[in-house]
Amino acid sequence: MSIERIVVIGAGTMGQGISRTVAATGIDVILYDLSEEILENSIQALSESLDREIEKWGITIAEKKAILARIKTTVDINNVKKARMLIEAVPEELEIKKKLITTIDDLCPPETIFVSNTSTLSISELASYTKRPERFIGMHFLNPVHKIPLVEVVRGLKTSDETFQIIKEFALRLDKTPVLVHEYPGYVTTRIIVPFLNEAMHVLMEGISTAEEIDEAMKLGFGFNMGPLALADMMGLDEVMSWMENLIKELSEHKYNPCPLLRKMVRAGHLGVKTRQGFFCYDEEGNRVKEEEK
């Protein structure tokens, strides 16, 4: 199956990252969201991100122009008919995804492949809201999408071998290493990373050490490139809490119960890099700054 155009639904952080990564391979992207304002802000954020890459000699100006030229935006959901594959990257809430999937299932041709970027929800359950469960599959990208070489390919109970092979080849075309994951809450990466992040937050809340020292200890002691608290900030603390809540609902294991400090920060709107305040402070470009430099 030749894929020359895909639809990405949801223009948030993950939708931007997926669109950029796909467009960089020469595939056209139709990026859908609910309003022109959301889409304009998304393209602006993507453009600024590409500019930062240019400053670091990561890409050229010509490459930036080519990527943006391949991404078209739309608020017309009927445009999902124009691609043989679509990737949904809407918020990690079952009802939101259910409503979206039900709507687009009636619009798309029978051969269209549905891909979900969910990190914790059941692919089999999401597929049950369609008339094509055999053509429904998960691709769990990690943020930042263009830098992380991994994608978890999640088969639902009814995902066909043909769909899996198409998505595996698509992942390789994106220069990602596809790791096959069978249906189970949290898959591999989310299920393992969530207790790690949660425990780091408990250590901070209990006053055992500072955020800086906790991250430094884990980087130097175990060779991580990034400490757990900075990693949570980058992922988005609201997203991290959503993963925890979905996992504790599915698995009923206390290790997934969100740390009270995390709940407090999310309620306060301190969501990490995207709000410039999380466990650490950040500037407009997402770089760490000291508290006194704010």
Q: What pLDDT, on the 0 to 100 scale, is given for residue 149?
A: 95
Take residue 58 and report the two structure tokens written for it: 């990561």
The CA distances from residue 50 to 18, 21, 79, 141, 216, in Å, are 14, 11, 26, 19, 29
Does residue 258 have a cis peptide bond before it, meaning omega lies within 30 degrees of 0? no
By three-state DSSP, how is residue 222 classified?
A: helix
Q: Please determine, for residue 22, whether its predicted confidence score (pLDDT) is greater than 80.
A: yes
User: Within a 10 A sphere around the Cβ of 76, how many other Cβ atoms?
Assistant: 8
Task: Give the model's confidence band at 143: pLDDT under 50 very low, under 70 low, under 90 confident, else very high.
Answer: confident
Q: Please determine, for residue 17, whether its predicted confidence score (pLDDT) is greater than 80.
A: yes
Q: What pLDDT, on the 0 to 100 scale, is given for residue 291?
A: 67
Share of the chain above pLDDT 90, in %: 82
Task: Give the model's confidence band at 294: pLDDT under 50 very low, under 70 low, under 90 confident, else very high.
Answer: very low
Contact call for residues 74 and 31 (beta carbons, < 8 A):
yes
State how far the Cα of 189 lies from the Cα of 192, in Å rounded to an integer.
5
Q: Please determine, for residue 250, whether its predicted confidence score (pLDDT) is greater than 90.
A: no
Amino acid at 81: K
User: Where is average pLDDT lowest: 42-46, 52-56, 111-115, 225-229?
Assistant: 52-56
- Counted residue by residue, the chain has a size of 294
Residues contacting 253, CB < 8 A, separation 6+: 247
Query: Is the C-alpha dihedral spanning 203, 204, 206, 208 positive or negative?
Result: positive
Q: What pLDDT, on the 0 to 100 scale, is given for residue 103?
A: 93
State how far the Cα of 135 lies from the Cα of 276, in Å rounded to an integer.
39
Task: Give the model's confidence band at 139: pLDDT under 50 very low, under 70 low, under 90 confident, else very high.
Answer: very high
Hey, what domains does the chain have and what are their CATH numbers?
Answer: 5-182 (3.40.50.720), 190-293 (1.10.1040.10)
pTM of the model: 0.87
Q: Please determine, for residue 222, whether its predicted confidence score (pLDDT) is greater than 50.
A: yes
State how far the Cα of 118 lies from the Cα of 113, in Å rounded to an integer.
15
Share of the chain above pLDDT 70, in %: 98
Contact call for residues 158 and 133 (beta carbons, < 8 A):
yes
Task: Give the model's confidence band at 83: pLDDT under 50 very low, under 70 low, under 90 confident, else very high.
Answer: confident
- The string of DSSP letters for 136-154 reads EEEEEE-SSTTT--EEEEE
Residue from 236, 223, 241 nearest 282 by CA? 236
Residue from 266, 231, 214, 229 nearest 245 by CA? 266
Q: What pLDDT, on the 0 to 100 scale, is given for residue 231?
A: 95
Residue from 131, 134, 101, 135 nearest 118 by CA? 101
Q: What pLDDT, on the 0 to 100 scale, is given for residue 292?
A: 55
Residue from 73, 74, 66, 118 nearest 97 by CA? 118
Find the mean pLDDT for residues 151-156.
Answer: 95
Q: What pLDDT, on the 0 to 100 scale, is given for residue 20?
A: 96
Find the mean pLDDT for residues 222-249.
Answer: 93
Q: Please determine, for residue 121, whether its predicted confidence score (pLDDT) is greater than 60.
A: yes
